[in-house]
Amino acid sequence: MKRDERLWQVSQGYRAPRKRGRVGQPRCLITEEQLQFLLSFNFTVQQIADILCVSRRTVTQRLRQHNITIRGRYSNMTDAELDERVIDLVQGNDELGPDAVRARLFGEGIIVQRRRVRQSLLRTNPAGAALRAMSHRMHRRTYRVAGPNSLWHLDGNHKLIRWRIVIHGGIDGFSRMIVFLQASNNNRSSTVMEQFVQAVDQFGVPSRVRCDHGGENNAVCLFMDVFRGTARGSALRGRSTHNQRIERLWRDVWNGLSNVYHSLFTLLEQDGILDINSETHLWALHYVYMPRIDQDLQRFVNQWNHHGLRTTRYMSPYRMFVRGCLRLQSQNLTGVQGLFGADEGPADEQPAEQAVRPPVPTFNWPERVAVPANTFAVEPGRLQELQHRVDPLAGSRDRMGVDLLQEVLSFLLS
């Protein structure tokens, strides 16, 4: 950390309290819980020292005092065991690189050195490593936001809409931390609102949200206008191409998992196993693959939020969010203050740039992408029997659920 950054944090951010003794300098009070919390996000010793505004030596002494070892946190699994786990995580997806795989392992509680993960990928999939080496790095526009929870970006992804599946997501603009990511069989406003509320319960209420003009965002925008105020631009609506953070995320979601399901469903149609014009077939597809997609999305969220970002000196989104909250807790930032017990409500801030435009009634925006509801229904008794016979998350990974889909179709059509 540069000297001017250190001076700014000392004056504005969190500082470890000190306790005076009879002699010598006051002692820094750093608890074991604080150290374990910061280490759980994979902060380095130097980063912990910067956050607490103490020296690296002080952190090292406190770690030793509480019998906490850094090296002991690394997994001692053999190369063969690591290769087997990497193959299981990658599942033939050549787009996943060392940082993504390492983040997925960390999300499962397995901490492995980057060097070992890179070597494992070379051993298990050398062709994929060569493909990634030849790919071009994407150049992005400069993006800046005040702090954590200052601006959330919301959007829906329609890559799988042919099969009536929509993925809704939200990302914190400051840290790039995914706050929610979930697949649905509809594009209703109530669905997006439900996911947004779950994210708010976990991460707090953002100061502002940015989304497009789709009607699926109406409930969230209404909530933000009521909770934060209407004259400050609490809900910024515009074209999806201007929603930079979430649009970049969709590219990684496609590379990470959507492309696999898109190719699989297309192949199922070509082989005559799936008929998208049949409500029964679509019901069976959702029964088997919606839980699988959601499970993979949660794995992706863990991977994304734990992976190091090149432009932030390989700080993960989780670490960026935590460090930003601690650094800015004394600032009058609406999105941060609520995390530290400040009274929530309409924010007294300068209006956002778009707030100077004439206000548009929230519900004037139509739902641009409508997903037809499935008209096929299963009797409760038959559904219970099916749930007893077929677990959507069971089966061999090599089969990718195709055998389960065929079993469900056979049951429904019998």
How far CA 256 is from CA of 73, 180, 260, 287, 317, in Å, comes to: 27, 16, 8, 22, 17
Work out the average pLDDT over 246-272: 93
Which region among 66-75, 212-221, 289-298, 372-381 has the lowest average model confidence (pLDDT)?
66-75
Model confidence pLDDT, tens digit, residues 359-383: 444 445 555 678 899 999 999 999 9
Residue 330 has pLDDT above 80, yes or no: no
Confidence at 242, pLDDT banded by 50, 70, 90? low
Question: CA of 211: how far to CAs of 125, 192, 219, 268, in Å?
Answer: 39, 12, 12, 34
If asked whether residues 321 and 186 sit together in one domain, one would say: yes
pTM of the entire structure?
A: 0.76
Q: What is the CATH number of the domain that holds 81?
A: 1.10.10
Q: Is residue 376 part of a domain?
A: no
Residue 171's alpha-carbon distances to 144, 187, 304, in angstroms, are 14, 18, 11
Residue 270 belongs to domain with CATH number: 3.30.420.10
Last residue of a domain, one of 321, 344, 364: 364
Residues 65 and 115 in one domain: no
Q: Which pLDDT does position 24 carry in this prediction?
A: 62
Residue 394, in any domain of the structure: no
Number of separate domains in the chain: 3
Last residue of a domain, one of 49, 72, 95: 72
Residue 413: inside a domain, yes or no? Answer: no
Instruction: Say what the pLDDT of residue 11 is.
Output: 47
Distance of CA 211 to the CA centre of its chain: 17
Q: Are residues 197 and 321 in the same domain?
A: yes
Q: Find the domain containing 254 and state its range.
A: 152-364
% of the chain residues with pLDDT over 70? 83
Task: Judge whether 407 lies within some domain.
Answer: no
Both 315 and 204 in a single domain?
yes
Query: What b-and-e string marks burial along 132-151, b requiring 16 or more CB atoms within 10 Å of the CB?
Result: eeeeeeeeeeeeebbbbbbb
Same domain, 162 and 92: no
Q: Give which of 370, 402, 371, 377 is closest to 280, Cα–Cα.
A: 377
Average pLDDT over every residue of 243-270: 91
In this structure, are 81 and 55 located in the same domain?
Answer: no
pLDDT of res. 122: 85
CB-based contacts of 190: which residues, under 8 Å, 6+ apart?
219
Residue 146 lies inside a defined structural domain of this protein? no
Q: Are 409 and 308 in contact (CB under 8 A)?
A: no
Are 233 and 195 in the same domain? yes
Question: 263 with 179, same domain?
Answer: yes
Task: Indicate if 114 and 228 belong to the same structural domain.
Answer: no
Identify whether residues 237 and 94 lie together within a single domain: no
Structural domain includes residue 284: yes
Claim to verify: residue 24 and residue 116 sit in the same structural domain = no
Whether 402 maps to a domain, the answer reads: no
CB atoms within 10 A of CB 300: 22
220 belongs to a structural domain: yes
141-185 pLDDT, tens digit each: 566 788 999 999 999 999 999 999 999 999 999 999 999 999 999
- 40 and 125, same domain (yes or no): no
